[in-house]
Every structure is written in structure tokens, then in C-alpha cells.
Structure 1
Amino acid sequence: MLYIGIDLGTSAVKLLLMDQEGTVQNVVSKEYPLEFPHPGWSQQNPEDWRRAVLEGVPELLKGFDAGQVAGIGAGGQMHGLVVLDEHDRVIRPAILWNDGRTAREVDYLNQTVGKDKLSAWTANIAFAGFTAPKVLWMREHEPENFARIKKVMLPKDYINYILTGVHCTDYSDASGMLLLDVEHKRWSKEMLDLCGLTEDQMPKLFESYEAVGALKPDVAAQLGLSPEVKVCAGAGDNAAAAVGTGTVGDGACNISLGTSGTIFISSGKFGVDPNNALHAFAHADGHYHLMGCMLSAASCNKWLMEDVFQTKDYGAEQAPITPDKLGNNHVFFLPYLMGERSPINDTNARGTFVGMTMDTSRSDLTQAMLEGVAFAIRDSLEVARSLGLDIRRSKLCGGGAKSPLWRTILANVLGLELELPVSEQGPGMGGAMLAMVACGACSSVEEVCAKLVQVAQTVTPDPELTARYEARYQQFKQIYPALKGIFPALL
């Protein structure tokens, strides 16, 4: 049998076709635009997602027996606010995960309502990217649109609705809304009341590996598939990527260098970081996880290469950074191009080069950028270690993981063995694997991971280089606190 995985990303949807042995048979990518109507704002038209998926699936199936497709699973960008009216029409562009317009709402939630209450209700505090602050912003600034809301959804759930006609979400994705009681896996009445919403306006909750329905007959005909094809609830992109890398069970770790950067630690039981610097979310395997998320990771590389250096030859820019230069750079970079979430939770933070001199070279800036992202990921790793978690190795995925140099920097900055999966297809792979469970091909998420995930390569840290980076990290840690008070004045 065959399974379709949907990775609904920020810049494109990536569709993959996987067989039951985990071999990816075909991949199709469809790009769509991203809107920045004001500085710090980020939004998209859900119609672009719908069109990309409905056009992409028939392309994906060309040359294959569509009758062999048993299930579909999606992993998608988290936190985005998708609102539908009584006719299930999209009311306004979706406000995305990396949108920073909700600073006032976040301050209200954390300071006036109180972090202790939020953590008790949802296991998390407010971050600008989360969905609940966006709902409050919409109620304040677009009251006419707010009054029309019939359903509040997340990006990949809108695609599942298009496919099945079911208003659904899964626990992992819903965890990032600040509207879910994560520990008890139910909508938080306190947060819904605070946001002026009712439970009827929320989608039905499922485990990620549960089938939410089958394809609508008209959609099945359009896609060239059987109307008996099952669609599972899927997962938020990070939980789906974790499934794709086999990061399930107690104490497993995955680091993703995508547009954003994440460190994902799975757990068999519910737990909360006392300072809420890490997110406490449900996992796609039916259990829980802690996660640190930085807003700009591989996107920092894309920005520096394409927007500043005006090149797409990433390899050529990294070539001058020879092994002897690692841990010896005199330039630092704060990777806060869109503000920052974990662990500092500061929408005012900005990207910054520090330490440049007359002999600073182009490659010094490139190296500082790669190191800065690694240092920022370590900030979240240090929070996890402070909780007593003994993390010595991690899976590594995402576009940035394709760079051997960046892998080496990251392994030595973190002091971790980094394992690269044989098939690195991120959330799409995880979505297809969840679909296998929904269709009964495997009995659990743990079983499908054990069956399909293999490690292709392990990057081992070098003690001498790790020591050099330890000294550099201690210097890096001093830069943001020194600049924190300056950033608001720059806006």
C-alpha cells in the first residue's frame, strides 16, 4: 500500500508518496506567497494552501497506481489562526506562527491574567506566535470579522477539512494554541471564556494517529483517489518531524534546522518547565514533549546568503570556513530576525552582528550566523538540562542539516552526538507514518518508527573543539542581556 504525507510549510507545501517499507517513491513541492502587510506581521491566504494541495496530489501520483493509496497524513506549520464563517469560508488571511503583531495581547495575558494561571490552565505561557493572542488581537482590531467566526482552526486542519469536511485538530497542534488544557487533553474553558470563544467554535480533538474521516467523494474524484482513503488527524510540524525521525518514547531528542529551529524532547509523562521557557505540548505518539523553538534558524542563512550577499551558492560561501577557524571567530550573531520565542520570549529582540573589525570578512559573517543559530538552540538545551534531563544524543533534521559544516558546528556547540536519519523528509514523512497507523498497517506510532526509521550518519563532537565553543558560548550568553534594553527603542 501507499501513503501520502503532507508537509504544509510556511513557503511551500511538500507532498510525498511513501510505501509501507518507508521508501519515498515521489516528492512534489508547490510554493505559495507569504504576506508582510506591516513590519513584524506575517500572514497567508489559506486558499493558496488548498490550491497547492489539490493541484499537487495528482502530480504526485503520476506514474503510480492511485488505487494503492490507503491513507493521508499531514504535518503543518503550527499556531496559525484560520477562521471560518458559518458557510465554512475563510474570513481573513491566516495570521502565522512568526507574526509579531500581538505584543500587547501577550503582555496582557502574561502580566495581567498572569503566567501562573496560564500555566495552570494550558501548561504554557503566552508567546506572540501562539493562537490565543491572535484571537484577542482580532477581537480588538477586527470586531466585525471576529463576530463572524464559526470555527477556529489551524493551518493543516484546514487542509484536513478540505479533504474530509470534518472540523478537526490533533492534540500536538492544539497544544500550541494556548487554548488547550494540555495535561488533560481538552479545551480550556478558562481560556475560551477569556478569548470570547465557545467550545462549539473549536474543532474536534483527536490523537494524531487517529482517522478523522475519509475523502469527500468530489475531492477524491479531483485527486484521482478512492473515497475510501483515510485521512488521519496528523500533527504540528515539529511533532510530525519527530515521528519522521523516530523521536518517540521517553527521553528521545530531535533538533530541527528549518525556517524556525526547534529542540524537541519526548516524554512518557506530562511535565512543565517551572519557568515556562520551554513549551509543554502533547506529542503525536499519544504522550507528551518539551520543546524550545527559535523563530529564525535556516531562515537566517537564507537571509544572509540571498538578501544580503545576493547569492544562492551556499556551499561556496561556507567553503572558506576551514576547521581551524571553528571556535575562533571574533564575530557573534544574535539570530533574532523575527524577535524570539524560546527561551527569552522577546518580540522586540533583533538580529545583531557584534564584534566586527576592519579585518572582518564575508566568511566571518557567515560563520557567525551559523554559530549564532547553534548558540541559540543551546540556550533551550540548557533549560532542559537544568530540569535534570540527561541528553547526550539527538536526531537532526531540516534543510540546515544538509550542511556538513553546520552539522559540525552544532554538534560541538551542543556537545551532542547528532544522528541523521536515512530518509529526511521532515513533517511529511511523519504524516505518512501516522497515516499508516490510522490505516492499521502498524499498531502504534512507536511500532512504525521502529520499523521504518534508520540512521544514515552520526556526527560526533570533538572534545577540543567543544571546549573552544564552550568558551565562545559563555561570551554569547552575555550579549542579549546587554542589548535587551536597547531593542525596544529601535522599533
Structure 2
Amino acid sequence: MLYIGIDLGTSAVKLLLMNSGGEIVRIVSKEYGLSFPHPGWSEQNPEDWYTQSMEGVKELLEGQDKSQVAGISFGGQMHGLVMLNEKDQVIRPAILWNDGRTTKETDYLNEVIGRKKLEQYTANIAFAGFTAPKILWVKEHEPENFARCRKIMLPKDYLAYRLTGVFSTDYSDASGMLLLDVAHKCWSADMCRICGISEEMLPRLYESYEKTGCVKREVAQELGIPESTVVAAGAGDNAASAVGTGTVGEGRCNISLGTSGTLFISADHFVSMNGQNAVHDFAHADGSFHLMGCMLSAASCNKWWTEQILHTKDYPAEQAEITDDRLGGNHVFYLPYLMGERSPLNDPLARSTFIGMTMDTTRADMTQAMLEGVAFGLRDSLEIARSLGISVTKSTIVGGGSKSPLWRKIVANVCNLTLEIPESVEGPSMGGAMLAAVACGEYPDVRTACEKIVRISRTEEPDPELVRKYEEKYQQFRQIYPALKELFPKLQ
């Protein structure tokens, strides 16, 4: 049988076809646009997701026996607000995960409602990227759109709704809305009241590996696949990526160097944050839970620096001068806050900056500082997990940035972790296909699927002397943001 995993990303949808043995048959990617109506805003047209996904599936299945397609599932960009009216029409462009307009609403939730109550209701505090602050923003600034809203959903769930007609979501993705009582896996009546919405406006909750429905007849006919094709709930992109890398079970870790950067630690049981809400406490796609730190700009820092500032796309050439003897000795530092920052700062007004340049600073020094700054940002979240008594000594690493041997070495030594590079680094799309296979009974559960499919190709070990050097640099790095924090709002 064949299984389709759909990774609904920020700039493109990536589709993966997997066979019963867990082998990748084909991968297809389709791009779509982003809109930035105002500084710090980020929006997308949900219709583009559907159109490009359908075209992608058609290309994915060219030359294949379409009758063998058994299941479809998803990994998707999290937190985005999709609003439908009573006719199931999109009311306004989706407000995305990296949109920073909700400073006022986030402050209201954290300071007026209060962090302790939010943790009691949802196990998390408010971050500007979460869905609940976006709902409050629409309620305040677009009351006519708020009044028309009948359904609230997340990006991948809009795609699933178009495929099946079933109004659904999964626990991992719903965890990032600030509307889910994560510990009890149900919608929070208190958060619905605070946001002025009813529970009927929210989708039915499923485990990521559960069947929500089958493709609609017209969809099956257009794609040439069976009407019996199962659609599983899927997961938020990071949880799906964790499945794709085998990050399930107690204390497993995955680092993703994608557009955003994440540190993902799986846990068998719910972990109370006890006020340490700088990282997220979410449900996992395998039916358990996880902690996650998310920085808004990771590989996107590299893209910005290399393409927009240096005006080149030759990434390896820009990193070639950064030899091993230079690591741990850079006098330049970089704050990776191009879109503000989420974990652990929770500051949408934070901004990127280089500091420490002198007359002998080189282009390579600044490139190195950018790569190190992202690694330091990941370590900030790792330190929160360690403060909770969680011991992490190794991690898988995925995402576009993980293809750089230099960046992997920097991350391994900054975080003092052994990094494992999976044979397949497809992340959310692979995880989505695996969840579809579980939903169809190909594997009895997610953990078994991971054991059968995921393989490690090589490792990156930290060097004790380099770890020592980077420890000193990290302690310097962590002093920069507090020194500049009060300045950032004045720059807006």
C-alpha cells in the first residue's frame, strides 16, 4: 500500500509518498506566497494551500498505481488562525504562526488574566504567535469578521476539512492554540469564555494517528484515488517531524533547524512546568506529551544574511572560511530575533543585532556569529528543560540548516549534545505518512512505526575543549538581550 504525508509549511507544501515498508517513493514540493501587510504581520491565503496540495498530490502519483493509496495525513505549520463563515467560506487571510501583531492581546492574557490561570487552564502561557491572542485581535480590530465566524481551525485542518468534510484537529496542534487543556486533553471552557467563542466553533479532537474520515467522492475522483482512502488527523509540524525522526518515548530529543528553530523533548507523561513556562507543554503525536522551545528565526537567519545581505545563494562558500580552529573564539555575537522571539523570551519586540565588531572583523566572522547565535538561542530553551530536571545527552537533528556540517558541529558543541542525523531528514512529511500508515493498521502504533522505519546514518559528537570554549561564549551571549531589552520597544 501507499501512504501520503503532506507537510503544509510556511513557504511551500511538501508531499511525500511512502510504501508499506517505510521507503520513500517520491517527494514533491509546491510553493505559495506570503503576505506582509504591515511590519511584523504575516498572512496567507488558505485557498493556496488547497490548490497547491491538490496539484502536488497529482504530481506525486504520476506513474503510480493510484488504487494502492490507502491513507493521507499531515504535518502542518502551527498556530495559524483560519476562520470560516456559515457557508464554510474563508473570512479573511490566515494569520500565521510568525505574525507579531498581538502584543497587546498577549500582554492582556499574561498580565490581566494571569500566567498562573493560563497555566491552570492550558498548561501554557500566552505567546504572540498562539491562536487565542489572534482571536482576541480579530475581535477587537475586525469585529465584523469576528461576528461572521462559525468555525475556527488550524492550517493543516483546513486542508483536511477540504479533503474530507470533517471538522477535526489533533491534540498536538491544538496544544498551540492556547485553547486546549493539555493535561486533560479537552477544550478549555475558561479560554473559550475569555476569547468570546463557543466550543461548537472548535473542531473535534483526535489523536494524531486516528482516522477522522475518508476523502470525499469528488476529491477521490479528481485525484484518481479510492474513496476508501483514510485521512488521519495528523500533527503540528514539530510533532510530525518528531515522529519522522523517531523522537517518541521518555526523554528523546529532536532539534529542527528549519525556518524556525525548535528543541523538542518527548515524555511519557504530562510534565508540570511549575511556572517555568518559557517553553511549551504540549501533547505529542504518539499519544503522550512533549516539551518544546521554539525560536522564530533559525535557518531563516541564514537565508536572510546570505541572500539579502551578502547577495549570494552559495551557502557552502560563505561557510568555507570558518575552519575548526575558529570555533569558540569569535568576538562577534548575533541575536537571532528577526521576527521577535518566542521561547524562552516571549518578546515580539525583540530584534536581531550584531555586536562586538572591530576593524579586523571579517565577513566570515559575521557569518559564524549568525550560525552561533541560532545555536545559542536553541540552548536557551535546553537550559529551561534542564532546570526542570530533564536530562538530555543526545538529539536527532533535521531541517534545512542541519545539512550544513559546520552548523551541526556548532550546535553539538554549544549544547553539549551528541547529534544523530537520520537517514531520512524529511521531517513532517515523513511523520505524516507514518501517521497515515498507523491509522490504516499498517503498524499497531506510532512507536512501532518509528522502530521499524527510522534509521540513523551518522552522528556528530561534541568535543570537550570546544564545549568549554562555547560555554564561556554562551554566558556572554545570554547577557546581551537583557542589556538591550528596554531599547527594542523604542525602535518600533
Normalising by structure 2, what TM-score? 0.99
Deviation readout 1:194-239 (Å, 9 max, x if unpaired) = 1111011000100000000000000111111111100000000000
Give the C-alpha shift of residue 71 in structure 1: 0.3
Partner residue, 2:461: 460
**Using the alignment, how far apart are the partners of 1:275 and 1:416 within structure 2?**
22
Partner residue, 2:34: 34
- Mapping 1:389-468, distance limit 5 Å: 389-468=390-469
- Mapping 1:203-352, distance limit 5 Å: 203-273=203-273, 274-352=275-353
Partner residue, 1:359: 360
Give the C-alpha shift of residue 177 in structure 1: 0.1
**Using the alignment, how far apart are the partners of 2:148 and 2:223 within structure 1?**
31
Partner residue, 2:157: 157
Letter paired with 2:404: S
Secondary structure (helix, strand or coil) at the match of 1:411 reads helix
- Mapping 1:2-21, distance limit 5 Å: 2-21=2-21
Secondary structure (helix, strand or coil) at the match of 2:478 reads helix
Deviation readout 1:419-471 (Å, 9 max, x if unpaired) = 01111101000000000110001111011000100100110001111111111
Give the C-alpha shift of residue 384 in structure 1: 0.5
Give the C-alpha shift of residue 271 in structure 1: 1.2
Secondary structure (helix, strand or coil) at the match of 1:15 reads strand
Partner residue, 1:69: 69
Partner residue, 1:135: 135
Letter paired with 1:324: D
Give the C-alpha shift of residue 171 in structure 1: 0.2
**Using the alignment, how far apart are the partners of 2:129 and 2:404 within structure 1?**
28
Deviation readout 1:339-398 (Å, 9 max, x if unpaired) = 000001011100010001111111111100000000000000001011111100001011
What is the identity percentage for the equivalent residue pairs of Structure 1 and Structure 2? 67
Secondary structure (helix, strand or coil) at the match of 1:247 reads coil
Partner residue, 2:119: 119
**Using the alignment, how far apart are the partners of 2:458 and 2:155 within structure 1?**
33
Letter paired with 1:341: R
**Using the alignment, how far apart are the partners of 2:21 and 2:417 within structure 1?**
30
Partner residue, 1:57: 57
- Structure 1, unpaired ranges of 5+: none
Partner residue, 1:195: 195
8 Å contact kept, 2:126–2:178? yes
Secondary structure (helix, strand or coil) at the match of 1:30 reads strand
8 Å contact kept, 2:276–2:384? no
**Using the alignment, how far apart are the partners of 1:69 and 1:349 within structure 2?**
46
8 Å contact kept, 2:183–2:270? yes
Partner residue, 1:486: 487
Letter paired with 2:360: D
**Using the alignment, how far apart are the partners of 1:74 and 1:87 within structure 2?**
25
Q: Structure 1 segments of 4 or more deviating over 3 A? A: none
Secondary structure (helix, strand or coil) at the match of 1:410 reads helix
8 Å contact kept, 2:71–2:436? yes
Letter paired with 1:463: P
Give the C-alpha shift of residue 20 in structure 1: 1.5
Give the C-alpha shift of residue 272 in structure 1: 2.7
Secondary structure (helix, strand or coil) at the match of 2:159 reads helix
**Using the alignment, how far apart are the partners of 2:184 and 2:260 within structure 1?**
28
**Using the alignment, how far apart are the partners of 1:221 and 1:411 within structure 2?**
48
Deviation readout 1:243-266 (Å, 9 max, x if unpaired) = 000000111110100000000000
**Using the alignment, how far apart are the partners of 1:20 and 1:277 within structure 2?**
40
Aligned CA-pair RMSD: 0.6
Give the C-alpha shift of residue 63 in structure 1: 1.4
**Using the alignment, how far apart are the partners of 1:186 and 1:387 within structure 2?**
25
**Using the alignment, how far apart are the partners of 1:243 and 1:10 within structure 2?**
20
**Using the alignment, how far apart are the partners of 2:466 and 2:249 within structure 1?**
31
